[in-house]
Amino acid sequence: MASSNTPDSPKKPARGSRESRKHTPKANTKGLYQRAFKQAFVKLNPRVMLKNPVMFVVWVGTIVTALLTIDPTLFGSVPGETQRVFNGLVTFILFFTLVFANFAEAVAEGRGKAQADALRSTKADTTARKLLPDGSIQEVSSTSLRRGDQIKVIAGDVIPADGEVIAGVASVDESAITGESAPVLKEPGSDIASSVTGGTRILSDELTLRVMADPGKGFLDRMIALVEGAERSKTPNEIALTVLLAVLTLVFLIVVSTIPPLGNYVKTPVGVVTLISLLVALIPTTIGGLLSAIGIAGMDRVAQFNVIATSGRAVEACGDVNTLILDKTGTITLGNRLAEEFIPVNGHSLEEVASVALAASLFDDTPEGKSIVRLAQNLGAQVNFDRTSATGLDFSAKTRMSGTDLPDGIEVRKGAVDAVKGFVRSRRGNGGPDLDAAYERVSRLGCTPLGVCQGSDTYGIIYLKDVIKPGIRDRFDQLRKMGIRTIMLTGDNRITASVIADESGVDDFIAEATPEDKIEVIRKQQAEGKLVAMTGGCRRDSQGWH
């Protein structure tokens, strides 16, 4: 068994360690509270307070008690120094209640702004090494870079702009963007592994990048715009609760208004300040004061985990999710499937399988394809044909294969084992019993088998290894306790899918799923009255887009 020639990755810091947090943007807590304190007084504007019926009643009561503190004889109240002190104490308590409620809401709103500021801090102007047409390097400001420029970054540098790797292999710390402490290997040739984000940091070696975004149009700029542009409108539940609180407030207002006539009837008059104090104590002041803060805090809470909720409605909907559908590759597993071994079948030698696999993967620029090339070259396989005269065939969802048409008319293919079998049968060959045994062996390890053939002859199996993400089973257990059912969707064969499903702990799985199948599963779950969430990204590997 041979391994690929990938550079050694730096030691991965533990999640939450000082190393993993070193370059993660943090909000300025002191500045957050200072802004919130100022906003707490700005929000005392009656137009703002009127949006919250409960707190508006408290606001009106504060004004009345303040006037009675200044002149205790207003509204026919009994004058006296003791009464003035009592009125002043009630005014202070009501005013503090208003400011505290506004402060809580301002802090919740401020966290979103702080998250945007923290993201913006990673966009600080840096010096970039721009490659000139003559091959020389010129140090320029990162703000002067334009789409198409080429730059060089070395270990320790902050990547100055969104770009694509065109040369070099290096580890990049993307924790400031993704929250993942583990570094990511970047190399040219694939859509995912070759893309880098401005504000991340290169940890080892060096890369040559092509800038892919003009200033102000990068990934971080879009993230900041989403955070700052998140809607602060009320959710349906919040609107319903606000109406309920308003009705309760009106009921208690009517109740309190009946006390003065009763008091006068028994010759025990009740003062205005006492009535206001009673009303504020009866109405749901605490819920009314913190309701908006709770809704906003939900949006900003998820923002701290690098998840952007564009409205409170989205956060509220997450609480009602019944079913969570997940892609396998890159979501449940790490997603960096690499060639681990060649398994010969039908009497072929390991060297023959390596040669055919090399020919079939020569034009495959995905990380899996490159790993197959490296493994084959490690075993001594060489290209014995004119590459410029050969034709590379990309993977397609229809054929589920990729490969090369050689100059002499020979066809070499690799891909899903059943697809390779069909190709071989169309050339009047057969897979042979060894192929099924090798296919099942790899599948039962929870890995992905790819068939390799040349014309009508099947040569062997490529063993692609992937690893389940640490802690994923515990997370699914937590979701299960919350009443959320998990379903894994994958294009892998049923044996591999069942092994991954068992190890990860998902409730159900669907194997050999096409994009159309995934949409159909979602629609079926929704037709059963379930609220469905789906997580997973779009990535390209040797079996296509996932």
478: amino acid identity, one letter:
Q
The SS3 call for residue 50 is: coil
Phi, psi (rounded to 5 degrees) for 277: -60, -40
CB count within 10 Å of CB 10 equals 14
Using the 8-state DSSP alphabet, how is residue 387 labeled?
G
CB count within 10 Å of CB 167 equals 13
Catalytic residue check, 327: yes
**Selected catalytic residue, list 327, 364, 466, 492:** 327
> Which of these, 96, 98, 120, lies nearest to 31 by C-alpha position?
120
Burial of 366 (0-12, 13-18, 19+ CB in 10 A): buried
Beta strand residue intervals within 132-257, DSSP E: 137-141, 150-154, 163-167, 170-173, 184-186, 195-196, 201-202, 206-211
> Which of these, 357, 329, 363, lies nearest to 343 by C-alpha position?
357
CA atoms within 13 A on the CB side of 377: 11
CA atoms within 13 A on the CB side of 116: 15
> Cα(428)–Cα(435) distance, rounded to whole angstroms?
16
Residues 6+ apart with CB under 8 A from 486: 323, 324, 325, 326, 476, 479, 480, 506, 507, 508
Using the 8-state DSSP alphabet, how is residue 408 labeled?
T
- DSSP state letters, 219-246: HHHHHHHHHHT---PPPHHHHHHHHHHH
- Do the Cβ atoms of 125 and 172 come closer than 8 Å? no
Which residues are the active-site residues? Answer: 327
